[in-house]
Amino acid sequence: MKILFLTHSFNSLAQRLFIELTRRDHEVSIEFDINDAVTHQAVELFQPDLIIAPFLKRAIPETIWRQYTCLILHPGIIGDRGPSALDWAIMHNQQEWGVTVLQANADMDAGDIWATENFPMRFARKSSLYRHEVVEAATHAMLTAVTRFQSATFQPMPLDYARSDVHGRLHAPIRQIDRCIDWQHDNTLLILRKIHAADGFPGVLDTLFGEPYYLFDACMEEHLSGQPGTLIAKRNHAVCRATVDGALWIGHLKHKQDTQSTFKLAAILALQDHLAEVPEIPDDPFCKQSGMTYRDIWFEEKNEVGYLHFDFYNGAMDTTQCKRLRDIYLTITRSAVRVIVLMGGADFWSNGIHLNHIEQAASPADESWRNINAMNDLAQAIITTDRQLTVAALQGNAGAGGVFLSLAADYIYARDSVILNPHYKSMGNLYGSEYWTYLLPRRVSKSHVQSLIQNRLPIDATDARNLGLIDECFAVNSEEFANKIRQTAESLAKRPDFSALLQQKTHQRELDERLKPLQSYRDEELRQMQLNFYGFDPSYHVARYHFVHKIPHSWTPRYLAKHRRL
Ligand code: COA
């Protein structure tokens, strides 16, 4: 079938559906929801059999839903209506939630039901629930709905609140007043719930040092306490704020300014002028933690395997994070472990250099340069590891430089539902570094190198495995994935031919080095990056500005809008 996606952006859910439907031989074209005229034009040009809205913020024009079946993905259980579906589900501490595929009609979210899928809720950030449970359930539900549509016999179910299996209801949009934190009364769990329910977007509006800030990226602190509402500690990127019954960490803030567009920054950067008196309470990444606290890098060791976790918010890695991670990595290489597993974070493995912190810097070009060099130093340390075998374990998605960083490891495994974006070009024709010109051709054919880099399309773990980009993918569930990774890494460490494997790897590295030194790859890539950062063409700086400030799309790129290519 010809399927048109009408979507606010090509987000992780839209990407996953695009991959799954394309794999099932559907021809999928994408149009961003810009205005009704553009939508009409897209429908006219593509003449789809079916329209799917994976992530829409506006209603579909009546002239379109009357003529075409339009399936809308609503992140709520049957009967749930209105925006802020997930926000309310978290605020109300729902134990089970779901997604529903509805047919667009005159009433928002009240159309006939084509499919639905429920899942148990986790106490987690909205953005994390969206990227895991919602994407997974939505994929199943949408594939079911598409199959039902194709059957041409299925009758979707009208929404009927009298039915005993309809538990949802209409919700008003959630407001900041509903999210408001009372630091003198709310306990830590309640505050965490409020911040989790707003994570990703829009954050909880609060006041710090007399200024309005949106709060994001919160986690529990089990040891510190102080005067409720005051900042009692700082660590790496985060600040710790006391509550009536303990404390919590806040990793990211967005300054609310009425006259100027702002964006999320690490709390420590956003508040830098105010934190001189706040004590730094460092964390030892090698120390086994008792109790919950904020850590963005930590290490665990078991049965001669070392697991290095780097859970950076949104997978973005700034200069200091890359340097810290490299230092810790190098310390591990000097230890007795035989295998090092690079775990990344639970939601993202890595999305490359930190575009927000670059945007914020006094000279974004200089900061881009520092950041990419710090990433390269990290990649180089992994590539040249000669005492251990290394494994990249992709629990979450990876994009741009993050994907290429993972290729620095000897073995790459991904969770089944991971999506990879192994390309840089969408960021204003960025050339990219992280030794990708060495690492990518080691794994995939010449023609696939070209198609991955040029087409700018996402691929899933299965496709990545089939191309040879990664070694294997398994387990949808994060826990299952972690177990399988543990087994795989431990068997690698115990292999009778471990020394031979290590020798083979170092020998291959020597051969590669003789053929073309790593430094030459780096120099060539950085010459191109220098043009991106300091050259006459400002495309990278413009694209980064648009990305960081979330400027709405004014057109759909041709590589997504097939119907506009002719
Ligand atoms: N730097 C800073 N923030 C980043 C980031 C980066 N490199 N990559 C992603 N993010 C942020 C997004 O702004 C978004 O922020 P939000 O929490 O305010 O919504 C969040 O991470 C999630 O990203 P989103 O784009 O919504 O996720 P996605 O799964 O739909 O798309 C990517 C994933 C990787 C395709 C997309 O985020 C992307 O293109 N990132 C930029 C990658 C890049 O060019 N890196 C620099 C070159 S190495």
Residue 174 lies in a domain: no
Residues 226, 209: Cα–Cα separation, whole Å: 17
Is there a single domain that holds both residue 261 and residue 364? Answer: no
Reading the block at residue 72, the tokens are: 């809308």
**Peptide linkage before 75 cis (omega within 30 of 0):** no
Residue 548, in any domain of the structure = no
- CATH number for the domain harbouring residue 266: 3.10.25.10
Per-residue confidence at 291, pLDDT binned at 50, 70, 90? confident
Q: How confident is the model at residue 52, as a pLDDT?
A: 98
CA of 419, closest atom in ligand 1 = 29
Amino acid at 426: S
The pLDDT of residue 289:
78
Q: Which residues pair with 557 in a beta bridge?
A: none
The arithmetic mean of pLDDT across residues 528-542, rounded, is 98
Integer Cα distance of 496 and 492 in angstroms: 9
Mean pLDDT of 165-169: 95
Largest CA distance in the chain: 74
Angle at 258 between CA 254 and CA 260, to 5 degrees: 70
* Residue whose CA lies nearest to ligand 1 atom number 13: 548
Per-residue pLDDT tens for 15-42? Answer: 999 999 999 999 999 999 999 999 999 9
74 vs 565, higher pLDDT: 74
Inter-helix orientation angle 446-455/436-443, to 10°? 120
- Is 500 part of a structural domain of the chain? yes
Q: Are residues 378 and 490 in the same domain?
A: yes
Contact 455, 416 (CB under 8 A): no
State whether the beta carbon of 264 lies less than 6 angstroms from ligand 1: yes
pLDDT of residue 290: 75
The reported pLDDT for the residue numbered 65 is 98
Kindly indicate the confidence band of residue 288, based on its pLDDT and cuts at 50, 70 and 90: confident
User: Would you say residue 73 lies in a domain?
Assistant: yes
Q: What is the mean pLDDT of residues 140-162?
A: 97
- DSSP of 39-108: HHHHHHHH--SEEEESS-SSPPPHHHHHHS-EEEEESS-TT-BSS-HHHHHHHTT-SEEEEEEEE--SST
Dihedral, CA of residue 144, residue 147, residue 153 and residue 159, to nearest 10 = 30
Contacts of 236 (CB under 8 A, 6+ apart): 268, 283, 294, 296, 320, 321, 324
- Residue 285 beta carbon below 6 angstroms from any ligand 1 atom: no
Domain end: 161, 196, 223, which one? 161
Tokens of 225: 């306490």
Which range is least confidently modeled, 86-100, 282-296, 417-431?
282-296
Check if 401 has its Cβ closer than 6 Å to any atom of ligand 1. yes
Is there an atom of ligand 1 within 6 Å of 356 CB? yes
The alpha carbon of 546 and the centre of ligand 1 are apart by a number of angstroms equal to 12
Half-sphere exposure in the Cβ direction for 98 (13 Å, CA): 20
| CA 15 from centre of chain | 12
Cβ atoms of 89 and 79 closer than 8 Å: no
Q: Which of 5, 126, 314 to mutate to test the pocket of ligand 1 (most atoms within 8 A of CB)?
A: 314
Count of domains forming the chain: 3
Residue 87 is assigned to a structural domain of this protein: yes
116 within 8 A of 78, measured Cβ to Cβ: yes
From the CB of 360, is ligand 1 less than 6 Å away? Answer: no
The residue among 393, 406, 555, 530 whose CA lies nearest residue 473 is 393
Same domain, 150 and 44: yes
Ligand 1 centroid–CA 355 distance in Å is 8
Mark whether 473 and 327 lie in a shared domain.
yes
CA–centroid distance, residue 351 to ligand 1 (Å): 6
Mean pLDDT along residues 301-316: 98
Residue 19 backbone dihedrals phi, psi, to 5 degrees? -65, -45
What are the contacts of 238-242 at 24+ separation with CB within 8 A? 238/266, 238/267, 238/268, 238/294, 239/267, 239/268, 239/271, 239/275, 239/278, 240/281, 240/294, 241/183
User: Is the residue at 53 inside a domain?
Assistant: yes
> From the centroid of its chain, how far is CA 236?
21
Q: What is the pLDDT of residue 506?
A: 98
* Residues of the domain holding 354: 297-535
In a domain, 433, yes or no: yes
Closest CA to 233 of 271, 188, 196: 271
Q: Give yes or no: residues 33 and 134 share one domain.
A: yes
Measured in Å, residue 550 CA sits from the centre of ligand 1 at 11
Q: How many helices (H) and strands (E) does the chain have?
A: 20, 22
| pLDDT over threshold 90, residue 82 | yes
Amino acid symbol at 226 = G
**Rounded to whole angstroms, how far apart are CA atoms 141 and 135?**
10
Inside any domain, residue 555: no
Are residues 146 and 190 both part of a single domain?
no
> Beta strands 246-255 and 238-243: pairing type?
antiparallel
Q: Is the CB of 126 under 6 A from ligand 1?
A: no
> In the predicted model, what is the mean pLDDT of residues 257-283?
96
Ligand 1 mean position, distance from CA 430 (Å) = 15
Q: Are residues 337 and 367 in the same domain?
A: yes
Specify the residue for token string 């040092």.
209
CA of 390 to the centre of ligand 1 (A): 26
CATH of the domain at 118: 3.40.50.170
Q: How far apart are CA 128 and CA 238, in angstroms?
A: 19
* Residues 17 and 52: beta-carbon distance below 8 Å: yes
Residue 310 has pLDDT above 90, yes or no: yes
313 torsion bin: left (phi>0), alpha (psi -120 to 50), beta (else): beta
Same domain, 262 and 203: yes
* Mean pLDDT confidence for 104-115: 95
Question: Could you tell me the two tokens for 125?
Answer: 């950030």
Task: Note whether 54 and 190 are same-domain residues.
Answer: no
Shared domain check, 351 and 409: yes
Q: Among 298, 266, 265, which residue's Cα sits nearest to residue 283? A: 298
Residue 334's Cβ-count burial label (10 Å; 0-12, 13-18, 19+) is exposed
Region 188-207: what's the mean pLDDT?
A: 98
305 pLDDT more than 90: yes
- Give me the sign of the Cα torsion angle 88, 94, 100, 106: negative
SS3 content of the chain, % helix, strand, coil (to 5): 40, 20, 40
CATH at 369: 3.90.226.10
Asked if residue 223 and residue 122 are part of one domain, the reply reads no
Do 530 and 417 share a structural domain? yes
